[in-house]
Structure 1
Amino acid sequence: MAASDVAVGIIFLAQTVVGALGNFFLLLHYLVHYLMGFTVRHTDFMIQHLIVANLLALLCRGVPQTVAAFGVKDFLSDVGCKLLFYLHRVGRGVSIGSTCLLSVFQAMKISPENSSCSVLKVKAPKYIGFSIYLSWILYLLVNIMIISHMTGKRGNNNITSMKNFEYCSSVPYHRNTDSLYATLLTFPDVLCVGLMLWASSSMVLILHRHKQRMQHVHKNSSPRSSPESRATKNILVLVSTFVSFYTVSCIFQVCMIVIYNPHWLLVKMGAIVAGSFPALSPFLLMSRDSSASRLSVSGIRNRKIPNVRRNL
């Protein structure tokens, strides 16, 4: 085994293990709080679905990539390849949708009362659950087509006519359906990224105007920012990180589609970038004073006064 393969395998292993532990920790945190009767905010509900989507995207790509990097070949059957690629695409899509909903919802929550979003600001919490489940259904349906094109290498002798993914292969698309399939896959993602950029720009503008109006108050008060500002900054960091990794990942994907036989380094770098956000996002959520990183004393305080913090 070459030293480069070992190095790449170690990177995949570290990314998968660290990212999975971070996401499992957050998921366990929310589960314990739910069982103990603590108040769950609307943003916490969206973050829980984001965690599940991150785990799907991370494990379904990171585990087989790690195994393949350490020299194990042809270890997946046709069913295994179809299932792993399908779940990875669904997890990646729901991760995009959940992050988009987080940014849009937070932009509505901090918008002024006299803004055009004042009506949506009141009604938005009622549709959060519906929007999350709709994103799951949407990406479950859109990615069904990938099942018919993925196949395992075990017992497949006609490898030269297929796209090589190390542990799986992809049957070439028909020219007439290629553009339609690409549109179905990319349109929801592009729409979500556009909404994220709009929501992030709105939040930055709202916070800047609020800071200008409250400058005289800040001089005489504690330098600690409000909970809304901290939550908004946390989501801004999350969204900007996601958009950065997503853009780089799209560049790698386009290169692998355009290039008939891409270099092994291009394939592996694309997989590493694709797993970076699911691995990094739980630690971004645990930092910046997010709800998942509070001490249990904060949870007890929420339990005593649930109505005060329910809709923050």
Structure 2
Amino acid sequence: MAASDVAVGIIFLSQTVVGVLGNSSLLLHYLVLYFTGCRVRHTDLILQHLIVANSLALLCRGIPQTMAAFGMKYFTSDTDCKLLFGFHKVGRNVSMWSTCLLSIFQAIKISSGNSKWVELKIKAPRYTISCIYLSWVLSLLLNVINFMYMTAKKGNKTIINVKDYGYCSSIRHDTISDSLFAVLLTFPDALCVGLMLWASSSMVLILHRHKQRMQHVHKTSSSRCSPESRATKTILLLVCTFVSFYTLSCIFQVCMSAMYTPSWFVVNAAFIIAGCFPAASPFLLMSRGYSVSGLCFTWIQNRGTCHIMGNM
């Protein structure tokens, strides 16, 4: 086994273990909220689906890719490959759309009460659940192609009409068809990124105007940020991280589609970068206050006031 394969296997294993532990910690956060009878905010509902999507993307890609890097090449069937690749894409898309929905929802939430978005601001919480489940349905529909064209590696047989992804392969078409397919799947992603950037820009502008207004307040007033401001900064951090990793991932995905035979480096780099956001996002959230220990401490002090969280 080559040293490069061992290094890649360690990277995949570390990324998967760390990411799953981080997402599990946040999941525990919401389980504690549930069992203590606390009402959660609408943004928390979106975050719960983001956690599930992140875990799905990490497990469906990280575990088999780790096994392949350590030399286990032929452990999947055709059905396994279709399910692993398909559900990885579903998890990745829902993770992306959940982040997009978070940024849009928070931009509406902190908008001025007399703005043209006031009606949408009132109605937005009602449609949160519908939008979340719609993202799962659309992700499944968009990734039906992965269930059709993925196939297992056939032992030691050499097949010239497939692209090798380590533990699975996909049926190769001509370069133009593969490129058009990549553009088709990338368009919804690019649309989400555009919406994220628009929402993030709106939040930055709103926060800037709020800061200018607060400069006229006497210095003895409270300097602590509002919950909306803290949530907005958290979501901005998530969006910036996602856009950075997505841009790199998109470049490598296009390269894989355009190449007739993707190289070992391109395939592994694309898969590693695709797992960076699902692995990093829970730690970004916890760094902004979504910690289980902090939650428990707050609950012990304010056990009778949990219900007010639902109004945020």
Q: Report the equivalent of 1:92.
A: 92
Between 1:218-227 and 1:188-197, the stretch displaced more is 218-227
Q: Does 1:10 align with 2:46?
A: no
Q: Report the equivalent of 1:295.
A: 295
Q: Residues 163 and 262 of structure 2 are in contact (CA less than 8 Å); yes or no, is this contact kept in structure 1?
A: no
Post-superposition offset of 1:52: 0.4
Post-superposition offset of 1:229: 0.8
Q: Report the equivalent of 1:213.
A: 213
Post-superposition offset of 1:20: 0.6
Question: CA distance change for structure 1 residues 304 and 221 in 2, over 3 Å: closer, same or farther?
Answer: same
Post-superposition offset of 1:36: 2.0
Mapping for residues 147-158 of structure 1, pairs under 5 Å: 147-155=147-155, 157-158=157-158
Question: CA distance change for structure 1 residues 266 and 218 in 2, over 3 Å: closer, same or farther?
Answer: farther
**2:151 counterpart SS class:** strand
Between 1:276-285 and 1:34-43, the stretch displaced more is 34-43
Q: Residues 94 and 139 of structure 1 are in contact (CA less than 8 Å); yes or no, is this contact kept in structure 2?
A: yes
**1:151 counterpart SS class:** strand
Q: Report the equivalent of 2:113.
A: 113
Q: Report the equivalent of 1:44.
A: 44
Q: Report the equivalent of 1:123.
A: 123
Separation in 2, partners of 1:202, 1:292: 31
Question: CA distance change for structure 1 residues 280 and 243 in 2, over 3 Å: closer, same or farther?
Answer: same
Structure 1 residues 161-181: Cα deviation after superposition (integer angstroms, max 9, x where no partner): 211101101002478965764
Separation in 1, partners of 2:220, 2:247: 42
Q: Percent identity?
A: 66
Q: Report the equivalent of 2:166.
A: 166
Q: Report the equivalent of 2:280.
A: 280
Q: Residues 162 and 172 of structure 2 are in contact (CA less than 8 Å); yes or no, is this contact kept in structure 1?
A: yes
Q: Residues 102 and 235 of structure 2 are in contact (CA less than 8 Å); yes or no, is this contact kept in structure 1?
A: yes
Separation in 2, partners of 1:68, 1:291: 34
Q: Report the equivalent of 1:62.
A: 62
Q: Report the equivalent of 2:203.
A: 203
Letter in 1 for 2:171: V
Between 1:157-166 and 1:241-250, the stretch displaced more is 157-166
Question: CA distance change for structure 1 residues 270 and 250 in 2, over 3 Å: closer, same or farther?
Answer: same
Q: Residues 53 and 92 of structure 1 are in contact (CA less than 8 Å); yes or no, is this contact kept in structure 2?
A: yes
Separation in 1, partners of 2:11, 2:230: 32
Q: TM-score if structure 2 supplies the norm length?
A: 0.94
Q: Report the equivalent of 1:76.
A: 76
Q: Residues 179 and 257 of structure 2 are in contact (CA less than 8 Å); yes or no, is this contact kept in structure 1?
A: no
Question: CA distance change for structure 1 residues 26 and 307 in 2, over 3 Å: closer, same or farther?
Answer: closer
Q: Residues 76 and 152 of structure 1 are in contact (CA less than 8 Å); yes or no, is this contact kept in structure 2?
A: yes
Letter in 2 for 1:270: A
Q: Residues 299 and 306 of structure 2 are in contact (CA less than 8 Å); yes or no, is this contact kept in structure 1?
A: no
Post-superposition offset of 1:300: 5.1
Measured on the aligned residues, the alpha-carbon RMSD in Å equals 2.0
- In structure 1, runs of 5+ residues without a counterpart are none
Q: TM-score if structure 1 supplies the norm length?
A: 0.94
How many pairs does the alignment contain?
312
